[in-house]
Copies of this chain bind each other. A is one copy, B any other.
Amino acid sequence: MSRRSGILEFAVLGLLRESPMHGYELRKRLNTSLGVFRAFSYGTLYPCLKSLVANGWLAEETGGAPEDARAASLAGRRAKIVYRLTAEGKEHFEELLAHTGPDTWEDEHFAARFAFFGQTSRDVRMRVLEGRRSRLEERLEKMRASLARSRSRLDDYTLELQRHSMESVEREVRWLNELIESERAGRDRRTGPDK
């Protein structure tokens, strides 16, 4: 029970929905394919997998069909545990995909959600994108305010750092604007009057 990391749990479920995998491979996918994710260590991943099994969301399949003589002969062989999503797991992931909320627009969480946008319904995508955007706009407001208050007593490097990080945030807002635009365009094409 418990040992829920939110992000990791979500990503694991999402990856396994595409196809069953064992832990080691899962970890690679977490770093590479999904790129953005930081590399979770085995010390995090394996216990997480166990807990997902305990919840009934994953099933372990310790390789080799039992009727296979060669498998039996290699008795001492370390089991390569393949995990696959159960029906309950699929259902649970579906729920997670449908969920939107303030936690959803935080940095890491947002990246994880975005990575599975391919499986997400458009209205949920919109809510997440818009939530993220307003979250960033809030952040910008705070930065601008504190900058206005303290600009005078800050040295050049501190100022430059603030300028650069504000620009980064502004850049992400523009990116979100484009994404939201194209989501809307997609909707319009579907529900619009004609053409």
Which residues from chain A sit less than 8 Å from chain B, CB to CB? 31-36, 111, 114-118, 143, 146-147, 149-150, 154-158, 160-162, 164-165, 168, 171, 175, 179
Contacts of A143 in B (CB 8 A): 35
Which residues from B are CB-within-8-Å of A117? Answer: 157
**A115, B158: Cβ atoms under 8 Å?**
yes
A114 touches B161 (CB 8 A): yes
Are A146 and B114 neighbours in the complex by a CB distance under 8 Å?
no
**B35 and A156 contact, CB distance less than 8 A:** no
> In the complex, which residue of chain B has the Cβ closest to the Cβ of A153?
B33
Given contacts A168-B168, A171-B171, contact A162 B118 (CB under 8 A): no
CA distance A118 to B158 in the complex (A): 8
The 5 closest A-B pairs by CB, nearest first: A117-B157, A32-B146, A118-B155, A35-B162, A118-B157
Give Cα A32 to B165, complex, Å.
13
Q: Nearest Cβ in chain B — how far from A99, in angstroms?
A: 18
Is there contact, CB below 8 Å, between B33 and A154? yes
Contact B36 A150 (CB under 8 A): no
Q: Which chain B residues border A34 with CB–CB below 8 Å? A: 158
C-alpha gap A34/B160 in the complex (Å):
11
A113 to chain B, nearest CB (A): 10
4 additional contacts (CB under 8 A) given A33-B154, A35-B161, A36-B162: A32-B146, A33-B150, A36-B165, A168-B168
